[in-house]
Amino acid sequence: MAAPAAESGPCECKSDMASVKAVSSAFPLALRIVAECPVSKARACVLTLPHGSVNTPVFMPVGTQGTMKGITAEQLEQLDCRICLGNTYHLGMRPGPELIEKANGLHGFMNWKRNLLTDSGGFQMVSLVELSEVTEEGVLFRSPYDGKEILLTPEQSVGIQNSLGSDIMMQLDDVVSSTVTGPRVEEAMRRSVRWLDRCISANKNPHRQNLFAIIQGGLNAELRRACLDEMTKRDVPGFAIGGLSGGEEKDDFWKMVTLSTDHLPREKPRYLMGVGYAVDLVVCVALGCDMFDCVFPTRTARFGSALVPWGSLQIKQKQYAKDFQPIDPECECPTCERHSRAYLHALFKSDTAAMHHITIHNISYQLTLMRSVRRSIVEQRFPEFVRSFMRRMFPCGEPYPSWAVEALASVDIALD
């Protein structure tokens, strides 16, 4: 067995950009591959960014308007979260990029000293599709705040993200729902390539802010490959796999993920957008992805759903009214250290504080899961980790989802 490489210790935290070989000397980013699974495509890396190092695989919690819903920047820091997301679309609307720039960017505005990733605002096109119209120039939409028409161009998206000062910025892409088929998918993919070039030219801070490309092409393997061919010709510090996790069949989903990681350069980070269910995370790590984000853990917390190694626990259910155990007896988060299921059950009826406690637990669950995944890769026992994770998630002979079985088999991990 290979000797486990050093886990994140104080020495790694101190490592500055100069001491690590960067992807390209031009980028404020370096990816060091610490260990690779000898069986699957899983890998454990240290991603060094302007606001410190991040161990990957990593889950990045999503924030809106500079505050995590139900959690503060300080609490995220206590959970040892090293990178989180800010929504460009929301922040660009209110309070606006000028104000945030005055507050020393989003880091200063949020009082967050670690890394930030901002999206392009493009994803909101799908969610606000009735409000938007895409042209070659950009996305035209009506502000939900004051009804004014706004044109979001690739240049403006990068301009806003430059004002926010995020460590990783996302290109503006032409997003179509993953269930759309036909010529619109190719049009959106080709346009996303053209917009990538406009975003690269528009970046005013290439030495301080990393711009990631987003691979599109829907569920069409040929289009995905064409997009990968084009985008990997560009000199960008990292790649995202986009346009998935939007209601498509899981069989299509994992095939597009694995096709993408097969064609992405080994030495650059791979970010799978919008994925956050525990099973999906573990499978997609096996397929070679490094970074993930999703609103799911925070959104589901607001409905009283707590994430646990055996699925989820609905705190509102009667059976927890007199249950004095923590949500998960093995969890070391501040919520599980202090509060019982019975207390949270009672609190949920009267107070939003219960949502806040469950949000902290859920984010902690995601971060802890990814740390365990990473440790297993470093210690060269990832396939066994996957098997025991799945056994726990689907107990008592409950069948495994067939897509997960197939996806894992494609990288030589057989479930028992």
Q: Could you tell me which residues are annotated as the binding site for substrate?
A: 119-123, 173, 216, 243
CA–CA gap between residue 66 and residue 139 (Å, rounded): 23
Q: Which one of the listed residues 119, 174, 290, 328 is annotated catalytic?
A: 119
C-beta closer to Zn ion: residue 114 or 361: 361
Q: Does 336 bind Zn ion (CB under 5 A)?
A: yes
Catalytic residue from among 167, 174, 280, 293: 293
Q: Count other C-beta atoms under 10 Å from residue 403's C-beta.
A: 18
Question: Does the annotation mark 293 as catalytic?
Answer: yes
CB of 323 to Zn ion, least distance (A): 15
Question: Annotated binding residues, as ranges?
Answer: 119-123, 173, 216, 243, 331, 333, 336, 361
Q: Compute the distance between CA of residue 313 and CA of residue 355 in angstroms, rounded to an integer.
A: 13
- Pick the binder of Zn ion from 331, 355, 370, 407 (CB under 5 A): 331
Q: At what angle do helices 353-378 and 382-393 cross, to 10 degrees?
A: 150
Q: What would the two tokens of residue 65 be? A: 């308007």
Quick one: 255 or 357, whose CB is closer to Zn ion?
Answer: 357
Q: 109 φ, ψ to 5°?
A: -60, -40
Q: Which is nearer to Zn ion, 93 or 308 (CB)?
A: 308
Q: Is 41 in the site for Zn ion (CB under 5 A)?
A: no
Closest of 330, 300, 335, 326 to residue 392, by C-alpha: 330
Q: Which is nearer to Zn ion, 116 or 333 (CB)?
A: 333
CB of 321 to Zn ion, least distance (A): 19
Please identify which residue in 286, 333, 369, 386 interacts with Zn ion, judged by CB under 5 A: 333
Please state, in angstroms and rounded to a whole number, the distance separating the CA atoms of residues 335 and 327: 8
Distance in Å, CB of 365 to Zn ion, minimum: 7
Give the residue from 182, 183, 185, 165 showing the smallest Cα distance to 174. Answer: 185
CA distance 248 to 262: 21
Are 29 and 238 in contact by the 8 Å Cβ rule? The answer is yes
| Residue 109 to residue 106: CA distance in whole angstroms | 5
Decide if 328 is catalytic.
no
Distance CA 43, CA 382 (A): 10
Nearer to Zn ion, 51 or 361 (CB): 361
The answer to whether 160 contacts Zn ion (rule: CB under 5 A) is no
Which residues within the stretch 354-393 sit at the binding site for Zn ion (CB under 5 A)? 361
Residues with catalytic function: 119, 293
Question: Interface residues with Zn ion (CB under 5 A)?
Answer: 331, 333, 335-336, 361
